[in-house]
Amino acid sequence: MRFRFLLVLFVYSSMAYSQKEAMSKNAFLQRDVQTAFEFWNTTQPSTEFHSSFRPYLSSTFLEARDSLLPFKSYGFQNTFLQRSLNKSTISKTKHSLQFHPLLDAEVGFDALENQVMRSVTAGIHAKYNINHNFTFALTLLAGNNNYPFFLDTTIAKQNLIPEFGQAYKDDTRGYNFLDYQGYISFSPKNSKIFNFQIGRDKHFIGDGYRSVLYSDFGPATPYLGINTNFWRIQYNVWYTWMLDVTSANGVKNNFKNKYGTFHYLSYNILKELQIGFFENVVWRGTDTSGVRTFDINYLNPVIFLRPQEYAVGSPDNSFIGFNLNFTLWKTIKFYGQLGLDEFYFKEVRAGNGWWANKQAWQAGFNYVNAFRVKGLKWRFEYNQIRPYTYTHGVVEQNYSHYGQALAHPMGANLKELLSIISYRKNKWELSAQGMLVLIGKDSLSPKSNVGQNIFLSYNTRPFDYGHYTTQGVRTQVMQSELRFTWFIVPEINLRLETAWIQRAEENNKNYKLQNPYLFIAIKSSLWNSYKDY
């Protein structure tokens, strides 16, 4: 049976596809680009496309066509500003180069502090392709950004901008930063089966706005990845090198190495029904013996690391999860996730609030062409995360990178409701977003650890039983946003945006915050920048 399976896999992998189709490019994670995939995959479900692992590889959406969308967008097979470098039309080797200018210029007004905010991020994205099965991509960015009070209070603690990493304050309360992302991608013989990548980039698991398994909220990570597609199965393995900055005080020489191995298996049972299994292990680069580096025991590309972890007597941090989505009437996709940091059925069943019942779950739907209106989209989502989820006894081994959570940006010990309604037609879009979060935070006591802050060791918990979600200083965060976008040049995602954001926060200790923020911006960014954490 095993020999037959390997033989079939070899035959599939040896099949070459047309040199005219790009096989090795990654689609951008940016939400305006992803909207096109949501409309396409929901209205045209397929057993070959796996929506829950991003970035999408170009060989997996060869059937996608821009004509299927009810609005102008960044094209699926985008060749804008791309040029062939071939001197001869009969050459067997095809070379092409593509550029995307990047600019985010934003002017806003923070009504709480009565202050004008100015932010400018500029850079360039370049792709070099050989025969459509080899891609080299590089994004270079630099900027000076100001943030409204409700965001600046978080960024100022460690001088870390969530999506970019290390930043340096200037004299105007702004932050200067420099960042890069990129990858080298290769699909042997133009095969749709195997793809190999090495780079520094982001990943996302799930079909929601948030992910309780793995998200793109934090900075990019260096990684080595393998993407396998055959029949109705997609299997992704990636190995990462991350950084712990918990006690570094912004000094890079004090950053500590940490590493991770991640596996995600997705299976399309039907065109409309997909299940996924996720697992990972995170470990620190230094232990009692000094320098540990990458543990070769975790190079095993076969899923089910947990037995491997037990086999080596590992004290490392492991996490498993499940993803599910199903589509009805080619208009609405229901999705959900379950993350298990620890799971002892006896303790879960007892219902006595054991501290190590560390679970997270998500449920939601994404409704496209809603109520038979083309271009109308409604997303509704609920997330809940128990105390101490994503934490570890050794802080360097928690579920984070560069000071940011690898899953939900607010950590743990929370309940969240999200609703996003948008209408997109031709070159413009109007959207409204609402968020309500109930979160339990630590008190001012230095010994307080109620399980929300994932950068505290779970060994500092005050007791073992009686824990419940939103325990501690009960805090309510409400945020609403109304945004208008005009896509000036959809082919490079160049757009004009204006938005109003209202942030309200209060807790049971008489703390209250009302922070209105209004901005207008011109953008061509191809990354996600979150303002709701």
Q: Walk along the chain (533 residues) and give the pLDDT tens digit of each residue.
A: 443 444 344 334 434 444 467 899 999 999 999 999 999 999 999 999 999 999 999 999 999 999 999 999 999 999 999 999 886 666 678 999 999 999 999 999 999 999 999 999 999 999 999 998 999 999 999 999 999 999 998 898 888 999 999 999 887 779 999 999 999 999 998 789 999 999 999 999 999 999 999 999 999 999 999 999 999 999 999 999 999 998 888 788 889 999 999 999 999 999 999 999 999 999 988 765 656 777 777 887 876 766 555 555 567 889 999 999 999 999 999 999 999 998 888 888 898 999 999 999 999 999 999 999 999 999 999 999 999 999 999 999 999 999 999 999 999 999 999 999 999 999 999 999 999 999 999 998 878 999 999 999 999 999 999 999 999 999 999 999 999 999 999 999 999 999 999 999 999 999 999 999 999 999 999 999 999 99
pLDDT of residue 16: 41
Alpha-carbon Rg for the chain in angstroms: 23
Instruction: Give the integer Cα–Cα distance in Å for 408 and 395.
Output: 17
pLDDT of residue 311: 53
Q: Residue 7: helix, strand or coil by DSSP?
A: helix
Cα dihedral 34, 38, 44, 50 sign: positive
Contacts of 429 (CB under 8 A, 6+ apart): 71, 422, 423, 483, 484, 485, 487
pLDDT of residue 308: 59
Contacts of 194 (CB under 8 A, 6+ apart): 13, 187, 188, 226, 227, 228
Domain ranges of the chain: 2-523
pLDDT of residue 208: 98
CATH class name, domain 2-523: mainly beta
Over 56-102, what HEC string results? CEHHHCCCCCHHHCCECCCCCCCCCCEEECCCCCCCCCCEEEEEEEE
**Max Cα distance, the chain (Å):** 75
pTM: predicted TM-score of the whole model, two decimal places: 0.94
Instruction: Give the integer Cα–Cα distance in Å for 362 and 414.
Output: 12
